[in-house]
Amino acid sequence: MSKNGTLFGVSLGPGDPGLITRRAWALLERPDAIWTYPVRSTRSDSYALDIAQRAGLPLPTQHLPLLFPMTHDAEKLARHWLKAAETVRDLLATGQDVLFLVEGDASTYASFSYLARVLRELDPAAQVQVVAGVSSFNAVCATVQVPLSEQDDTIAIVPAAYGIHAVEKMLDDFDTLVLMKVKPLLDELIDLLERRGLLAHSCLVEKAGSPLERVVRDVASLKGTQVNYLSLLLVKNPGREKGPMVRGCRKKTSAELAEEAVE
pLDDT per residue over 149-208, tens digit each? 998 899 999 988 888 999 999 999 999 999 998 999 999 999 999 999 999 999 999 999
Which pLDDT does position 2 carry in this prediction?
61
Taking residues 2-21, what's their average pLDDT? 95
Q: How confident is the model at residue 244 (pLDDT cuts 50, 70, 90)?
A: low
Instruction: Report helix, strand or coil for 222.
Output: helix
CATH fold of 136-236, please?
A: 3.30.950
Q: How confident is the model at residue 257 (pLDDT cuts 50, 70, 90)?
A: low
189's enclosing H/E stretch is helix 186-195
Asked if the model's pLDDT at residue 50 lies above 90, the reply is: yes
Q: Pick the residue with more confidence: 247 or 69?
A: 69
Task: Provide CATH 3.40.1010.10 ranges for the chain.
Answer: 6-131
What's the CATH code, domain 6-131?
3.40.1010.10
Task: Compute the distance between CA of residue 64 and CA of residue 67 in angstroms, rounded to an integer.
Answer: 10
Which pLDDT does position 256 carry in this prediction?
55
Task: Provide CATH 3.30.950.10 ranges for the chain.
Answer: 136-236
Asked if the model's pLDDT at residue 258 lies above 70, the reply is: no
| The residue type at 248 | G
Asked if the model's pLDDT at residue 121 lies above 80, the reply is: yes
Instruction: Report helix, strand or coil for 130.
Output: strand
